[in-house]
A and B are shown apart, each in its own frame.
Chain A
Amino acid sequence: MDYLAVFLPLIAFLIAGCFGREIGDKAVQFVTCAGVIVSAICSVFLFFKVGVGQAPYTLTLAEWVHTGGLSVDWALKMDTLTVVMMCVINIVSACVHVYSIGYMAHDKHKSRFMAYLSLFTFAMLMLVTSDNLLQLFFGWEGVGLASYLLIGFWNTKHSANAAAIKAFVVNRVGDFGLALGMMACFVVFGSISFDVIFEAAPDQAGRVLEFFGFEIHALTLICLLLFIGAMGKSAQLGLHTWLPDAMEGPTPVSALIHAATMVTAGVFLVARFSPVFEFAPIALMVVCIVGAVTAFVAATIGMTQFDIKRVIAYSTMSQLGYMFFALGVSAYGAAVFHLMTHAFFKALLFLGAGSVIHAMSDEQDMRNMGGLWRKIPFTYAFMWIGGLALAGIPLFAGYYSKDMILEAAYADNSWFGTMAFWFGIAAAFMTAFYTWRLILMTFHGKSRASKNVQDHVHESPRIMLVPLCVLAIGAIFAGMAFYTPFVSGTHHEEGGAHAEISHEAGTETHASGLLPGSEDFWGDALFILEGNDTVTAAHNVDLWVKLAPLVVGLIGIGLAYLIYMFKEGIAGGFKKLFKPVYLLFLNKWYFDELYNQVFTKNTFRLGNVFWKKGDKAVIDGLGPDGVSKISRRGGSLLSKFQAGLVYQYAFVMMLGVIGIVTWLFIRLKGW
């Protein structure tokens, strides 16, 4: 079962990659889809066996690197966190695989595309099942590779290639942090295996490590370095610039990699390292602040973009920010809960957008859409479901997870938790606004497309709608169904409010009889210090805190209706009124321009200086070329000998050597 769930995508990739040309597109599509669907079914079984049945275990597959003090194996670690991730990955991946058959029907390189998708799925599974940092890094870079290949899938397009490289290199900056964090772990713990690290973390809480000449709290250093890796993969502010550009890839890729799974790897990493992060409060604070700021900034940009995929991309970034500040206030369960619900509704939105793009003959600019809802009603309905879930409307999945995060942030009672709460509320308002802006601009009003495109608008084939349907079910029910196991809170013995909650949770468990409460469900997979249990505390916050996200969400939707449906002139008025702010948002806070000026240009300039000035002028000038010039001059003096250059050099050198040796003879005793 576990082998099947992890290795079927690899087998599918190998078959598709090596024999794709021989067996044909149809066979490749069948093999890859079948592989991932079976994997998905297996992971659901594993979810019940390992997660619900609370029976974590680790399988060692083979030796990998054993040298000196380092010993690392290929292994499958199955615990609750892993199986949750596996379910998300395999289910979304299966949907995307099937959807791609329809979406890529007109592409010449179908089999290559399917092979890459399977490769990605495998790498992602390796990432979440690893029991050590090195295998995690293998998966980490593997998904980066698959992402690179898929963003640049249309490799004749200049912009796609540029985006692919950007994604890989920016991710490498994050990987640089992750690799250093891994090495720091090895120095501190003498191992990079999770079990060893997590067990020893409390004992090492007081240790300091020398880094760049500074004595730094070891666990904080490790956590911050790992977090750099997480920032790169999960597009947090500073290392986020690749994500919007990654929309150059085919839309199913955006849904799978850049919304549902790969970008959440950073969240997974921090959640996995909860036993270490708990002992590094400063690192948690940083995670929280970065997450909150990202959630806010990305939402502001999302309000102003016109490319339908970019709006959703910035929304993804913003939602990842939510997950991170949840992690930062130790609400790991809430973060993973949001990760799961977000995977469903965001993949739904992306695939829905893909369906729109498909209908519109590859048009992505919302300014050229409008009035589509009658022509593609199913897609329209699915986008509504995704939108409601994203905006956090009750009964839909996003409501449960997002509210839990905001409540946990508020309940943290720290300045950064409160800051995250308010940033999150602001982002929730903007989220609702830009989601409805997207829906209204795309589906309502008059059509702004050209005549030719309008004539071709058609509902997507069934093979694309069925996966949407599966995801829609997830987007509606995932929140309700898994609320108890993910975030019902922890049982504490002190009594008072805590006991009441856990009691409530306990009765719920017994009442439903299906799923355990969150303490039992997570088991050892997540670790929370007793004082940091914000998930439990979140159940007791004031009523206004619980209602605030919903209220601002409704206001956001209302405002979007006002501006884009009822009073269409208002948008322009707003733009004029807040022109500097609007331009700042529209230009994505000028991150790309800044990085281009500071990093890209200077790197190339420095490269040229080193090459032309360093290598050619200085080293060669003083070295071989210089010597040859001098000796040529000397050679003309000694031209009687007519000796070849080599001998002269050798001669000069011998003189030098003799000089040095003589000096040695004189200086050293006993000679």
Chain B
Amino acid sequence: MVDFPLLSLMTYLPLVGVFFIAMIQGDDVVKARNAKYAALYTSLFVFLLSLLMLSRFEPGNPDFQFVEKADWFGNLGISYHMGVDGISLFFIVLSAFLLPICILTSWRSITSRVKEYMIAFLVLETFMIGTFSALDAMLFYVFFEGVLIPMFLIIGVWGGPRRVYSSFKFFLYTLLGSVLMLVALLTLYTQVGTMDILELMENPVARNLQIWLFLAFFASFAVKMPMWPVHTWLPDAHVEAPTAGSVILAGVLLKMGGYGFLRFSIPMFPEATEFFTPMIFWLSVVAIIYTSLIALVQEDMKKLIAYSSVAHMGFVTLGLFTATVEGMQGGIFQMISHGLISAALFLCVGVIYDRLHTRDISQYGGIVRNMPRYATIFMIFMLASVGLPGTSGFVGEFLALLGAFQANTAVAAFAATGVILGAAYMLYLYRRVVFGPVTNNEAAAMPDVDYREMMIFIPIIALVIWLGVQPGYVLERTEPAVKQIISNYNAALVNASGPAEITSPVIEEDF
């Protein structure tokens, strides 16, 4: 354990960076350069801190660690409460890992308002890390919603031609969910009298209320995931966002939904979870098949990968709600793995977008000749996305399906067809972009990836393969927390079924 408030330090350090960047003066070139370096060093330092946290984390301990607690709203039951368990640990590290990559990848492609751009990303980092480490529902809500603002700006200011439409669509969808979640949170607060997540988990509310609250939270998390049918904001947001925005969006923001399910929905509303599990299974299956089929017919690279993200998130929701250790572990692992793989895929698109300034697949073709290194990198991530064993993509997908098979064989069988379709659309994309005859002379003249770009990709490749061959490092750290969630969940269901015999007639009268 560390004796200084590591989590708070990591959360607010980016804001210190923001402060310095805001102070930068001088002509535009100097300002841009200094802002980039300041942002890069800040984010790298946060990443180092996250590694420190990783090394100090006790793997076998299911409880929260690095806990900080301070009064916030006095005796109102709202406090400043931070801490991590095995589940949130890797999301924090993932956020801290992807941010320097985002800054590096924007090094040349962002030319206007560089200072503000860097500020937006650092603020985003604060909110992301805060979201994953908050143990007070109010605090969580502040961070969770806060993420929207810089993301909205990143898409809206530095995005493509239809950025306004996209950013509003993004904002609206997520706001819809958020408002409902806020209402649910307040309801919960008036019921239990505290905003502390740990206490909320221990004091489940009545079944009927659980069902309503579950739906309200679900509205928020399902949009964030995104689950079918509230996914349509994602392709538009991705298409218009700058590369780094897509990376963070796919890499971290989508995981907030899954994290929310794990932190709120499943532990706080066990009975409602059980009630809604079949619905979520089928929504996941629809998401997997439906969006995979859509991905197959896309002409826009980013849209294709965005749709594939929805399909991959379908495996996550499927795994999380199986209430089996394998499935839940698979869901979490899939989120982490997808955070790396989809981020890398968007980076891959970014590399050629920076050169040719189009995302239209038909404008490319045959670039393996002039960009052999790029072809190799893209191939690795394409295969990881397809879930080839030996890459991290396989472990998550397989565990999630394994959990699903135990819960419902038909669901698992349908979901597994996504593996076939996934291979089809990714290989088809790769073939059209990288292989085949040259159709566009400009594409054939693009230079191969340079040193800076290699430095971005190599760590991600190493992680994807390492997690594929030795997933134990993650799995053994997430397992205690997952087991605790499941045992609490099962205990709550047993408890509920006991007195339910007495209370259920009353409830039926009531409805």
Give me the interface of A with B, judged by CB distance under 8 Å: 62-70, 74, 134, 137-138, 140-142, 145, 148, 152, 155-156, 158, 161, 164-165, 168-169, 172-173, 175-176, 179-180, 183-184, 186-187, 209-213, 603-604, 606-608, 610-611, 614-615, 619-620, 623-624, 627, 645-646, 649-650, 653-654, 657, 660-661, 664, 667-669
The answer to whether residues A176 and B417 also contact, given A615-B294, A661-B187 and a CB cut-off of 8 A, is yes
CB-CB nearest in chain A for B366: A156
Best-surrounded residue of B180, B294, B416 (most CB of chain A within 10 A): B294
Measured between beta carbons, the chain B residues less than 8 angstroms from A606 are 293
Measured between beta carbons, the chain A residues less than 8 angstroms from B421 are 603
Which B residues, 165 to 220, have Cβ-Cβ distances below 8 Å to chain A?
Answer: 168-169, 171-173, 175-176, 179-180, 183, 187, 206, 208-209, 212
Measured between beta carbons, the chain B residues less than 8 angstroms from A68 are 324-326, 329, 479
CB <8 Å contact, B168 and A645:
yes
CB-CB nearest in chain B for A644: B168
Best-surrounded residue of B171, B180, B235, B297 (most CB of chain A within 10 A): B297
Contact of A161 among B412, B419, B431 (CB under 8 A): B431
Contact of A156 among B180, B209, B437 (CB under 8 A): B437
- Does B472 touch A at the CB level, under 8 Å? yes
CB-CB nearest in chain A for B182: A657
- Does B111 touch A at the CB level, under 8 Å? no
CB <8 Å contact, A186 and B187:
no
CB <8 Å contact, A62 and B470:
yes
Measured between beta carbons, the chain A residues less than 8 angstroms from B447 are none
- Does B71 touch A at the CB level, under 8 Å? no
CB-CB nearest in chain B for A165: B427
CB <8 Å contact, B294 and A141:
no
CB <8 Å contact, A70 and B183:
no
A179 to B388, CA, bound (A): 12
Please encode chain B, from 376 to 417, with 1 for each CB lying within 8 Å of some chain A CB and 0 for all others: 000000010000111000110011011001100110110011
5 additional contacts (CB under 8 A) given A66-B475, A650-B175: A65-B472, A66-B476, A70-B402, A141-B394, A156-B436
Best-surrounded residue of A209, A212, A624, A661 (most CB of chain B within 10 A): A624
Measured between beta carbons, the chain A residues less than 8 angstroms from B294 are 607, 610-611, 614-615
CB <8 Å contact, B419 and A183:
no
Q: How far is the CB of A156 from chain B (nearest CB, A)?
A: 6
Q: How far is the CB of A144 from chain B (nearest CB, A)?
A: 9
Measured between beta carbons, the chain B residues less than 8 angstroms from A187 are 405-406
Q: How far is the CB of A629 from chain B (nearest CB, A)?
A: 13
Q: How far is the CB of B399 from chain A (nearest CB, A)?
A: 7
Contact of B409 among A70, A74, A210, A608 (CB under 8 A): A210
Measured between beta carbons, the chain A residues less than 8 angstroms from B352 are none
Q: How far is the CB of A658 from chain B (nearest CB, A)?
A: 8
CB <8 Å contact, B179 and A653:
yes
A63 to B410, CA, bound (A): 31
CB <8 Å contact, A145 and B388:
yes
CB-CB nearest in chain B for A21: B372
- Does B233 touch A at the CB level, under 8 Å? yes
Q: How many B residues are at the interface, by size bracket? A: 35 or more
Contact of B297 among A70, A175, A604 (CB under 8 A): A604
CB-CB nearest in chain A for B190: A671
CB <8 Å contact, A65 and B399:
yes
CB <8 Å contact, A165 and B431:
yes
A654 to B172, CA, bound (A): 12
Please encode chain B, from 453 to 477, with 1 for each CB lying within 8 Å of some chain A CB and 0 for all others: 0000000000000000111100110
CB-CB nearest in chain A for B303: A611
CB <8 Å contact, B475 and A603:
no
The answer to whether residues A155 and B436 also contact, given A187-B405, A649-B172 and a CB cut-off of 8 A, is yes
- Does B22 touch A at the CB level, under 8 Å? no
Q: Can you list 29 contacts pairing A with B, beta carbon distance less than 8 Å?
A: A64-B469, A66-B475, A67-B399, A68-B329, A70-B399, A74-B469, A134-B389, A134-B398, A141-B388, A141-B390, A148-B427, A152-B431, A172-B423, A179-B401, A180-B412, A180-B413, A183-B401, A184-B405, A186-B402, A604-B296, A606-B293, A607-B296, A611-B298, A614-B290, A623-B232, A624-B232, A624-B233, A649-B172, A661-B183
Measured between beta carbons, the chain A residues less than 8 angstroms from B41 are none
Which B residues, 403 to 455, have Cβ-Cβ distances below 8 Å to chain A?
Answer: 405-406, 409-410, 412-413, 416-417, 419-421, 423-424, 427-428, 431, 434-437
Q: How far is the CB of A110 from chain B (nearest CB, A)?
A: 14
CB-CB nearest in chain A for B416: A176
CB <8 Å contact, A620 and B232:
yes
CB <8 Å contact, A610 and B232:
no
A623 to B421, CA, bound (A): 27
The answer to whether residues A611 and B435 also contact, given A176-B420, A180-B413 and a CB cut-off of 8 A, is no
Give me the interface of B with A, judged by CB distance under 8 Å: 168-169, 171-173, 175-176, 179-180, 183, 187, 206, 208-209, 212, 229-230, 232-233, 235, 290, 293-298, 324-326, 329, 366, 368-369, 383, 388-390, 394-395, 398-399, 401-402, 405-406, 409-410, 412-413, 416-417, 419-421, 423-424, 427-428, 431, 434-437, 469-472, 475-476, 479, 510-511
Measured between beta carbons, the chain A residues less than 8 angstroms from B412 are 180, 183
A661 to B427, CA, bound (A): 48
A209 to B176, CA, bound (A): 43
Q: How far is the CB of B454 from chain A (nearest CB, A)?
A: 13
CB-CB nearest in chain B for A173: B420
CB <8 Å contact, A212 and B233:
no
A349 to B36, CA, bound (A): 62
Measured between beta carbons, the chain A residues less than 8 angstroms from B233 are 624
Measured between beta carbons, the chain A residues less than 8 angstroms from B206 are 668
A158 to B511, CA, bound (A): 64
CB <8 Å contact, A180 and B470:
no
CB <8 Å contact, B209 and A668:
yes
The answer to whether residues A183 and B389 also contact, given A69-B325, A657-B180 and a CB cut-off of 8 A, is no
A405 to B103, CA, bound (A): 65
Q: How far is the CB of B463 from chain A (nearest CB, A)?
A: 17
CB <8 Å contact, A610 and B290:
yes
A610 to B288, CA, bound (A): 12
CB <8 Å contact, B389 and A169:
no
CB <8 Å contact, A615 and B232:
yes
In the A-B complex, list the 9 residue pairs whose CB atoms are closest, starting with the nearest.
A68-B325, A183-B405, A138-B389, A607-B293, A607-B297, A155-B435, A68-B326, A611-B294, A607-B296
CB <8 Å contact, A212 and B413:
yes
CB-CB nearest in chain B for A213: B410
CB <8 Å contact, A211 and B209:
no
Contact of B293 among A152, A209, A603, A646 (CB under 8 A): A603
Contact of B173 among A161, A180, A624, A654 (CB under 8 A): A624
A145 to B423, CA, bound (A): 11
Q: How far is the CB of A628 from chain B (nearest CB, A)?
A: 8
CB <8 Å contact, B383 and A145:
yes
Measured between beta carbons, the chain B residues less than 8 angstroms from A604 are 296-297
A443 to B11, CA, bound (A): 77
A155 to B412, CA, bound (A): 35
CB <8 Å contact, A212 and B410:
yes
Measured between beta carbons, the chain B residues less than 8 angstroms from A627 are 172
Q: How far is the CB of A562 from chain B (nearest CB, A)?
A: 46
CB-CB nearest in chain B for A136: B389
CB <8 Å contact, B402 and A183:
yes
Q: How far is the CB of B227 from chain A (nearest CB, A)?
A: 12
Measured between beta carbons, the chain A residues less than 8 angstroms from B324 are 68
A176 to B368, CA, bound (A): 30
A623 to B290, CA, bound (A): 18
A180 to B413, CA, bound (A): 7
Q: How far is the CB of B451 from chain A (nearest CB, A)?
A: 16
Best-surrounded residue of B390, B395, B409, B476 (most CB of chain A within 10 A): B409
A175 to B398, CA, bound (A): 12
A69 to B328, CA, bound (A): 13
Measured between beta carbons, the chain A residues less than 8 angstroms from B398 are 134, 179
A619 to B298, CA, bound (A): 18
Measured between beta carbons, the chain B residues less than 8 angstroms from A169 are 420, 423-424, 427
Q: How far is the CB of B204 from chain A (nearest CB, A)?
A: 15
Q: How far is the CB of A172 from chain B (nearest CB, A)?
A: 5
Measured between beta carbons, the chain B residues less than 8 angstroms from A168 are 423, 427
